[in-house]
Structure 1
Amino acid sequence: MKTKLFTALAIVTLSFMACDSNDDNTKVTPQPETTELKGSITSNVTLKAGEIRLTDPTIVREGATLTIPAGTKIIATTQSAYILIEKGAKILAKGTAAQPIIFTSSTAKSGSWGGLVINGKAPLSRANASDPSTFGTEINDQIQYGGSDIADNSGELDYIILEYTGANISDDKEHNGLTLNGVGNGTKISNIYIKDGADDGIEFFGGSVDVTNLLVVNSEDDMFDFTQGYSGTVKNAYGIWTAGFKTDEVDPRGIEADGNHDGKGPDHINQSNFKMQDITIINHSSQLATKDKDGNEIPLMNDFVKIRRGATATITNLLIKNAANSTFSDIIDMKDGNGAGNAATNITYTFEPESLFSSSKIKLEGAAKATKNNTSTGANTSVFAWTKYTF
């Protein structure tokens, strides 16, 4: 479904909770209580733990901070709804294992709302040092991201659930579960659970932010997507397509990495050069194939790992599993029509089951290394106990 998102923005809606006078007749001043999110947030807002309706696109403007306490549930009521943090703004969403913060939809279905987008001031790939270091956000190209501050701080996310995200904008512009645009490594992101999204689970557009303890279940396109000069580290990440999973996407992957934006800048500086450590990718889907734009059937898992278009990846302790009745194109591939991945790429991995392994499905470029072993254990799943997901 192609959905044109609202561009006109209102002011965040506030309702007020009346308070009675106390016994000594001292008047208690009513305090504003935010029960609905929509439009522009231009000053600091702290939500009250409970249920909050997200009824329209909501943008936290530069200089403002949105604080979300543990146990809050934000419920999107329209497909056009999303939350965007401008560069220079912050989100402080700190849940706990016992009281995570949940971003969900009133319709329990993938593609029901636009997800969470965070913009920062960290570097992107670009033509040269004098080229503008900012770029327009997919959902609204008037809102810029990127800059020169590697340590930029956009806030903190901890113990977060994002579900039923991924509303489409057009063929080449979609919402993900979590979109990180030029986000700096002063931002803290950990303990993230993204489930049942219509596009990528998480996508990094440049930036340097690190992410730890990331669980992605049944993303309809890529599990982990990197582009436009990302230079951080993803540690302890687990992505899975379960037995009943189905998708209409033509090229879903476990890991997809571009050095520059959409392969359109093969000579750009600051190409993606990132690390992943302790990673599991599993394909258990019983859907054997999907179809490309011409109607031709292709394997459901297009590639487990795709490092292309100038990207450099260092991936250690990678565990790849494929069900015996599930199809895939390549285990590791480093090239497409818009360019090859950087030959400095180095991957160590274990593939299971051995009966499905084929060295012909490892396609490297130049001096790139992919070392197969039988010792990679992948992600530590015990840290995801708080999600209640059954491994």
Structure 2
Amino acid sequence: MKKLLLSALAIGALAFASCSDDDEPPIAEVVATCNDGIKNQGETEIDCGGPNCQPCTEATATCEDGIQNGDETGVDIGGSCAEIITVSGELTADTRWTADNIYVLAGKVVVGVGKTLTIDPGTIIKGKAGSGSLASALIVQRGSKIMAVGTPEKPIIFTAEEDNIGVGQTAGTNLDETARGKWGGLIVLGRATGSFKNDVTEVQIEGIPADDIFGLYGPGDALNDDDNSGELEYISIRHGGALIGEGNEINGLTLGSVGRGTKINHIEVVGNVDDGVEFFGGTVDASNLLVWAQGDDALDIDQAYSGTIDNALVVSGEASDHAFEIDGPEGSITGSFTLQNTTIVGSATAADGEYADYRSNAMGTTKNIYAIGFQAGKDVELDANDVAQNFLDGELTFEAWQVVGFNNSIFSEKVLKDEADNDLETTIILAPTFTERAADWTTQVTAGDQTVGADISVFSWTYAFAKTGLSF
């Protein structure tokens, strides 16, 4: 009887529960209202989007509300908020360029004597296309200064007007390292020592027409090896090298008689038609230089440059020539460079793509060099008897070269030739030859086992690192 009673109670409870569930009204689904100021079900933003409401429209850049909206690349900067400022001629007052604008160089822009151009971190400067007298360039003439100090997060970028890079960005999307000659370059001039033909005291810089007097460099009547042209730090220079005349292009960074009071550190040059960085005389030191895919030589030394280049990386491209091209004094003044702690990467496809060329009375020291990726048959050469004699006299020296895939056979002595390729000299480094002596400073290594070369970690801020990873 007790069991029957419990069963009846259980059946009754189930029946009651079933009836209660059936009697509750269904929960209503929240429907997009499209006009109540609330993001309801199905709406992708407040009162818009989804299957029921009108499409959402992109917020408009307000440029002054403290919010990043519309096409702004940062809070109230970039996109339609960025002002594009065209600059031309001489800067006749101290000038500051800021990162919330884009500055376009129209022709030659020259910092006036006694004036300073300050460029804030993250600022983008674009050069207009043009050649000859219309080639665009920024020129820091003798007696003026540039204070362009970027940061790893906010480098200062010089590029072509064609580059679609915008404010707050570190790279555009429409140009790569093979895009060259889209504008000119950056030129800094000073009054430090240079060795010039006929012992003149000043000359016109390469890449600037002879009638532009702001292109003069050298001491003139005011020699100053401690000359201070300002500071360049965390600078990326891209897509330059505009032609101004037959065989005369502007380098990525040109330094003419720049003094040791100037600071040059963390510089990148990408895709320049001519040389990456060229030193015409001067005493300035430069460190942490990167040149990628230049059309001629990466690091070029001339006219008795007597500073130190430390921690450099050269990554050759299909159009590149030498990693190093070294010339010596042209007049009676002599000077000796130091090039050290450098990694040079060859190209598998470059028609030229040599390691280095020492020419025209070159004097100095090249040491702690790591070379990888060069084709068979490429060399490090002494071009003529004058530079070979400097080697014999101890005025041109080599130390600690480590080369992947090759040994001291890459070092060769050559002689001057005439236009018909006939020898005008005979070699003078004999018993042992220059190639044989190179065994004293050359070691063949396996990639990854090198103990010399550049510290590549310092280039992690660069465009080249972002594109390639720089794993050598």
- Give the TM-score normalised by structure 1: 0.78
Aligned equivalent of 1:158: 233
Q: Determine helix, strand or coil for the equivalent of 1:194.
A: strand
Residues 313, 345 of structure 1: 8 Å contact kept: yes
* Higher helix fraction (1 or 2): 2
Residue 461 of structure 2 aligns to a residue whose secondary structure is helix
Partner of 1:146: 218
What is the deviation of 1:173?
A: 2.2
Aligned to 1:27: none
Aligned AA (1:348): E
Considering only CA atoms, is the larger Rg found in Structure 1 or Structure 2? 2
Offset of residue 256 of structure 1: 0.5
State which of 105, 110, 113 in structure 1 corresponds to 2:160: 105
Q: Which residue number in structure 2 is paired with residue 4 of structure 1?
A: none
> Counterpart in 2 of 1:6?
none
Please give the secondary structure, in 1, of the residue aligned with 2:146: strand
2-side partners of 1:328 and 1:105: how far apart?
36
**Whole-angstrom distance in 2 between the partners of 1:127 and 1:372:** 35
Instruction: Indicate yes or no: 2:129 matched with 1:78.
Output: yes
Q: Any residues of structure 2 matched to 1:1-391 within 5 Å, and which?
A: 35-50=85-100, 51-79=102-130, 80-107=135-162, 108=175, 109-126=179-196, 131-138=199-206, 139-141=208-210, 142=213, 143-147=215-219, 148-241=223-316, 245-247=317-319, 252-260=321-329, 265=330, 268-287=331-350, 289=351, 300-301=352-353, 303-323=354-374, 326-330=375-379, 332-336=380-384, 340=388, 342-343=390-391, 344-354=395-405, 356-357=406-407, 359=409, 361-363=411-413, 366=429, 370=438, 371-373=441-443, 376-388=451-463, 389=465, 390-391=469-470
**1:271-305 Cα shifts (integer Å, max 9, x gaps):** 34100110111113324x2xxxxxxxxxx22x312
Change (3 A) 1:341 1:164: farther
Cα distance between partner residues in 2 of 1:380 and 1:327: 26
More strand by share: 1
> Tell me, which stretches of 5 or more residues in structure 1 are unaligned?
1-18, 20-32, 290-299
Instruction: Report the Cα distance in structure 2 between the residues aligned to 1:43 and 1:333, rounded to whole angstroms.
Output: 47
Q: Is the CA contact (8 Å cut-off) linking 2:388 and 2:429 kept in structure 1? A: no
How far did 1:351 drift? 4.1
The aligned amino acid for 1:307 is Y
Report the AA paired with residue 256 of structure 1. E
Partner AA of 1:233 in structure 2: T
Aligned counterparts of 2:209 and 2:283: Cα–Cα separation in 1: 22
Q: How many Å apart are 1:366 and its aligned residue?
A: 4.8
Q: Do 1:111 and 1:165's aligned partners in 2 also have CA atoms closer than 8 Å?
A: yes
Task: Tell me, in whole angstroms, the C-alpha distance in 2 between the residues paired with 1:154 and 1:254.
Answer: 26
More displaced 10-residue stretch of structure 1: 134-143 or 274-283: 134-143
- Name which structure has the greater RCO, CA cutoff 8 Å, separation 6+: 1
Specify the SS of the correspondent of 2:390: coil
What's the C-alpha RMSD, in Å, of the aligned pairs? 2.4
Letter in structure 1 aligned against 2:300: D
- Does structure 2 conserve the Cα–Cα contact (< 8 Å) formed by 1:335 and 1:341? no
Helix, strand or coil: the match of 1:186?
Answer: coil
SS across alignment from 2:126:
strand
One-letter identity of the residue aligned with 1:335 = D
1:360–1:381: structure 2 CA closer, same or farther, 3 Å change rule? closer
Following the alignment from structure 2 to structure 1, what is the Cα–Cα distance between the partners of residues 335 and 371?
23
Deviation digits for residues 317-338 of structure 1, max 9, x if unmatched? 1011125xx35431x2111498
Residue type at the aligned position of 1:333? E
Shift of 1:228: 1.0
Give the match for residue 30 of structure 1: none
**Contact 2:209 2:244 (C-alpha < 8 Å) held by counterparts:** no
What amino acid maps onto 1:91 in structure 2?
I
- Does the 8 Å contact 1:40/1:58 carry over to 2? yes
Contact 2:307 2:338 in 1 (8 A): yes
What is the aligned residue count? 330
SS in 1 for 2:323: strand
Partner Cα separation in structure 1 for residue 119 and residue 410 of structure 2 = 49
SS in 2 for 1:383: helix
CA distance in 2, matches of 1:233, 1:341: 23
CA contact (8 A) 1:317 1:378 kept: yes
Unaligned 5+ segments in structure 2 are: 1-63, 65-82, 163-174, 415-427
Using the alignment, how far apart are the partners of 2:389 and 2:286 within structure 1? 23
Counterpart of 1:89, as a letter, is S
Paired amino acid for 1:362: S
After the TM superposition, which parts of structure 1 deviate over 6 Å for at least 4 consecutive aligned residues? none
Please report how far the alpha carbon of residue 96 of structure 1 lies from its aligned counterpart in structure 2 after TM superposition: 0.5
SS of residue paired to 1:91: strand
CA distance 1:259–1:341, shift in 2 (3 Å): farther
Q: What amino acid does structure 2 have at the position aligned with 1:38?
A: S
Listed one character per residue, the Cα deviations across residues 188-225 of structure 1 (whole Å, up to 9, x for unaligned) are: 00000111111100000100111010011000100100
Q: Percent identity?
A: 34
What secondary structure, in the 3-state scheme, does the structure 2 residue paired with 1:342 have?
Answer: helix
